[in-house]
């Protein structure tokens, strides 16, 4: 059982890292989701595998006998919820980014860090991305 | 009472998040609630530091599950002082945000998320449970992402995506590390872990700590894992940027200190050696990036990385002196770095740009701003008698004491390069005349809150510089109880 889980974790991490190193934004998000699943599996496996007895302390005993540790299962639920929220956020962010920047190529996303044009000096900050005095962008966002 | 006080680092900011979110339709009310919330947070943090000052530890076990089963908040001197400085930075930056020096987009959900970040930071400082630490890192990440993306400008979305990718990778790595540690020891509580780790084979301990340490180093922005920081920070509005710059990476540095200097102390030597070289590379690469850039925000963002190198170097020196130096350096750095970003935002308001090639003439127009800038700038370099001198003195004294000559030499070289890039800001923004001949500083700038916040932080820098004994004694006392040593 543990070998199967280890193999699954290995494959999931590999796929996740491979995808998140991609230039395609959607694949990056998918890769992070995969890597998150692998992390959840590791956490799940931390509580002993292959025990099917319920995690109930029998009458007269003070400790759990031969069962899986329920704590990592509770932890993994927390981690799944957090991971789900982050992946949803990442997907929305990705869609908005593709809509605004008109590209899904990670290498073409140079708005925050423009490529240098001069060998010794960095490019000047794009005036479009400098804050404007007295602007009220609150309205702009409401569109 | 003391139980409530121990929970206050999270309760107060979360309550503020809630009430400011509920008041999102009423901007004025929201701002008042936000300021009241941060003042209350500062008050409880002060009470917290007063309560633990004598060496007591405030503990709350949630749901009354005793350790090692329940989740604990455990505030010793180290945690309490960092919670206090979190509240102080929140106060300074939110007061600054009332001015019109680069307030950014006053989105109705901005302030709730800023308080969410504060809750995450303070929770990470307060908790005594490894999985709970992961949760606070995620709270910080989610709230920070909201703040990044809320501006909605294209470069901000670009920055959010890069911030998200690398930081999510870091937290997932942390999750794997937490799972592996729980599998090996059966515990998550710091105290129980410290006892259980002795029974593990040393090679396994090294491996487990390396995974956790790597995750924290991503969060701290250490070489070579810092790419997310200079890619994203400069797109934030001034006061928010100062808050993030002051606090977020320091949580990673604190986690490294807690891990290597307290819970798993003494850690395997190989990890400390590796951390020392990583720290050296971090400070050098960070300052070289700063020397290259011409945008004030990007220069200062690279300086965060460089200064994180000093903090990690102090942690790598370990022992009581190293840990005390880490703590002192962290205090100094948070105050100075946030203040430099805030002054950068004032410079933007007066000259209209963050790019040093487009601005100038400030010494003629606003000499007081030059003096105000010089205090944190000289402190960052480490000129006596400002706070940075004492911080660097503590680190380098210990490095020389341990015979770490290469680390010391690099640290001194980095100070010189820091001087270079601060001189660049000084020459271009202050001494050089403004490139537009008919430029005059705007008279209608509403800067009073901004000046109050920056002067307040500069006063703290001066105070630490002239009266370092009390704080050094506090840092030493805090370090003396780390690593299971008797108080």
**Rg for chain B (alpha carbons), in Å?**
21
pLDDT band per the 50, 70, 90 thresholds, residue B266: confident
Q: Taking a C-beta distance cutoff of 8 angstroms, is the pair B411, B399 a contact?
A: yes
Contact A131 B102 (CB under 8 A): yes
Contact A125 B142 (CB under 8 A): no
ipTM of the complex: 0.90
Query: Per-residue pLDDT averaged across B134-157, rounded?
Result: 92
| Min Cα–Cα distance to chain B from A60, Å | 21
Structure confidence at residue A51 (pLDDT):
65
The angle that helices B110-126 and B27-52 make with each other, rounded to 10 degrees, is: 10
| Min Cα–Cα distance to chain B from A47, Å | 6
Query: Per-residue pLDDT averaged across B57-62, rounded?
Result: 89
- In the block, residue with structure tokens 């692998």: A38
Measure the CA–CA gap between B323 and B482, rounded to whole angstroms: 8
Contact A131 B104 (CB under 8 A): yes
State the best of B28, B130, B147, B154 to mutate against chain A, taking most chain A CBs within 10 Å.
B154
- In this predicted structure, the answer to whether residue A138 has a pLDDT above a threshold of 50 is no
Pair of tokens at residue A81? 């919820």
3-state class (DSSP) for residue B51: helix
Measure the CA–CA gap between B263 and B68, rounded to whole angstroms: 14
Listed residue (B487, B481, B86) closest to B320, CA to CA: B481
Query: Which one of B131, B152, B235 has the shortest CB-CB distance to A112?
Result: B235
Of 3.40.50.720, 3.40.630.30, 1.10.287.3510, 3.10.20.600, the CATH number of A2-50+67-113 is 1.10.287.3510
Query: Per-residue pLDDT averaged across A102-118, rounded?
Result: 86
Searching chain B, which residue's CA lies closest to the CA of residue A70? B186
Query: Per-residue pLDDT averaged across A98-102, rounded?
Result: 90
Contact B141 A86 (CB under 8 A): yes
Other beta carbons within 10 angstroms of residue B368's beta carbon come to: 9
The DSSP H or E segment spanning B272 is helix B269-292
- In this predicted structure, the answer to whether residue B357 has a pLDDT above a threshold of 60 is yes
Contact B295 A122 (CB under 8 A): yes
Least confident of B115-129, B258-272, B472-486: B472-486
- In this predicted structure, the answer to whether residue A141 has a pLDDT above a threshold of 60 is no
Contact B164 A71 (CB under 8 A): no
Pair of tokens at residue A134? 């007295």
- In this predicted structure, the answer to whether residue A137 has a pLDDT above a threshold of 70 is no
- In this predicted structure, the answer to whether residue B174 has a pLDDT above a threshold of 50 is yes
> What are the pLDDT digits (tens) for B187-204?
899 989 998 888 889 999
Measure the CA–CA gap between B274 and B267, rounded to whole angstroms: 12
Structure confidence at residue A135 (pLDDT):
63
- Chain A CB contacts of B104 below 8 Å: 131, 137
- Interface contacts A/B by beta carbons within 8 Å: 150
Contact A111 B179 (CB under 8 A): no
Query: Per-residue pLDDT averaged across B281-310, rounded?
Result: 94
- In this predicted structure, the answer to whether residue B420 has a pLDDT above a threshold of 60 is yes
DSSP state of B72: E
Report domain extents, chain A. Answer: 2-50+67-113
- Chain B CB contacts of A72 below 8 Å: 179, 182-183
- Chain B CB contacts of A133 below 8 Å: 100, 349, 352, 442
Structure confidence at residue B51 (pLDDT):
92
Residues 327-366 of B with CB under 8 A from A: 348-349, 352-355, 357-358
Measure the CA–CA gap between A42 and B208, rounded to whole angstroms: 13
Q: Is A91 near chain B, with CB under 8 Å? A: no
Measure the CA–CA gap between B405 and B364, rounded to whole angstroms: 43
Pair of tokens at residue B289? 């990036």
Listed residue (A25, A32, A31) closest to A99, CA to CA: A25
Listed residue (B310, B300, B153) closest to B222, CA to CA: B310
Structure confidence at residue A84 (pLDDT):
92
Query: Which one of B100, B108, B353 has the shortest CB-CB distance to A130?
Result: B353
Query: Which one of A90, A111, A134 has the shortest CB-CB distance to B164?
Result: A90
Contact A89 B164 (CB under 8 A): yes
Contact B294 A124 (CB under 8 A): yes
Burial class (CB in 10 A: 0-12, 13-18, 19+), B440: exposed
Contact A93 B149 (CB under 8 A): yes
Q: Is B239 near chain A, with CB under 8 Å? A: no
pLDDT band per the 50, 70, 90 thresholds, residue A140: very low
Query: Per-residue pLDDT averaged across B440-457, rounded?
Result: 91
- Chain A CB contacts of B157 below 8 Å: 93, 96-97, 100-101
- Chain B CB contacts of A124 below 8 Å: 294, 355, 357-358
């Amino acid at each position: 059982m543990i070998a199967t889980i280890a193999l699954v974790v290995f494959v999931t991490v590999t796929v996740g890292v491979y995808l998140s190193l991609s230039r395609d934004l959607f694949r990056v998000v998918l890769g992070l989701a995969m890597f998150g699943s692998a992390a959840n599996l590791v956490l799940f496996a931390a509580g002993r595998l292959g025990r099917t007895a319920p995690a109930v302390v029998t009458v007269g005993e003070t400790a759990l006998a031969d069962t899986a540790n329920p704590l990592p299962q509770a932890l993994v639920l927390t981690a799944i919820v957090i991971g789900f929220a982050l992946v949803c956020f990442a997907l929305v962010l990705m869609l908005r980014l593709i809509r605004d920047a008109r590209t899904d190529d990670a290498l073409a996303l140079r708005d925050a860090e423009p490529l240098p044009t001069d060998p010794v000096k960095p490019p000047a900050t794009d005036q479009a991305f400098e804050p404007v005095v007295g602007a009220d962008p609150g309205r702009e966002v409401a569109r | 009472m003391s139980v409530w006080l121990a929970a206050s680092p999270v309760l107060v900011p979360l309550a503020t998040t809630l009430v400011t979110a509920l008041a999102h339709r009423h901007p004025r009310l929201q701002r008042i609630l936000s300021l009241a919330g941060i003042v209350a947070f500062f008050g409880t943090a002060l009470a917290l530091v007063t309560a633990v000052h004598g060496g007591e530890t405030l503990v709350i076990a949630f749901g009354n599950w005793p350790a090692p089963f329940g989740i604990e908040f455990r505030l010793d001197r180290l945690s309490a002082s960092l919670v206090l400085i979190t509240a102080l930075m929140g106060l300074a930056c939110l007061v600054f945000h009332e001015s019109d020096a680069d307030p950014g987009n006053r989105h109705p959900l901005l302030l709730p998320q800023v308080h969410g970040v504060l809750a995450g930071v303070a929770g990470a400082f307060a908790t005594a449970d490894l999985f709970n630490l992961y949760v606070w890192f995620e709270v910080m990440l989610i709230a920070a992402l909201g703040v990044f993306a809320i501006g909605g400008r294209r470069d901000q979305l670009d920055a959010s995506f890069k911030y998200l990718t690398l930081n999510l990778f870091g937290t997932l790595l942390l999750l794997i590390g937490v799972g592996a540690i729980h599998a090996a020891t059966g515990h998550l509580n710091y105290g129980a872990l410290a006892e259980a780790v002795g029974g593990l084979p040393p090679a396994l301990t090294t491996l487990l700590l390396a995974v956790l340490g790597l995750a924290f180093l991503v969060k701290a922005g250490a070489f070579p894992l810092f790419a997310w920081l200079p890619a994203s920070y400069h797109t934030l509005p001034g006061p928010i940027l100062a808050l993030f710059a002051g606090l977020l990476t320091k949580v990673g540095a604190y986690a490294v200190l807690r891990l290597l200097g307290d819970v798993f102390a003494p850690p395997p030597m190989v990890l400390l050696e590796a951390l020392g070289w990583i720290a050296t590379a971090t400070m050098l690469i960070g300052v070289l990036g700063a020397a290259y850039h011409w945008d004030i925000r990007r220069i200062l963002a690279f300086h965060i990385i460089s200064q994180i190198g000093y903090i990690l170097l102090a942690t790598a020196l370990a022992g009581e002196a190293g840990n005390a130096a880490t703590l002192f350096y962290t205090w100094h750095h948070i105050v100075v770095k946030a203040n430099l970003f805030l002054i950068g935002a004032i410079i933007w308001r007066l000259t209209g740009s963050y790019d040093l090639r487009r601005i100038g003439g400030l010494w003629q127009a606003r000499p007081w701003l030059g003096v105000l800038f010089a205090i944190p700038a000289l402190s960052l370099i480490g000129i006596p008698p400002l706070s940075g001198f004492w911080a660097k003195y503590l680190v380098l004294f210990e490095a020389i004491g341990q015979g770490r000559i290469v680390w010391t030499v690099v640290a001194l070289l980095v100070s010189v390069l820091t001087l270079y890039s601060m001189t660049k800001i000084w020459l271009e923004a202050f001494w050089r005349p403004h490139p537009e001949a008919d430029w005059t500083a705007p008279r209608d700038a509403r800067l009073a809150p901004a000046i109050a916040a920056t002067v307040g932080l500069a006063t703290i820098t001066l105070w630490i510089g002239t009266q370092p004994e009390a704080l050094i004694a506090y840092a030493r006392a805090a370090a003396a109880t780390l690593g299971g040593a008797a108080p």
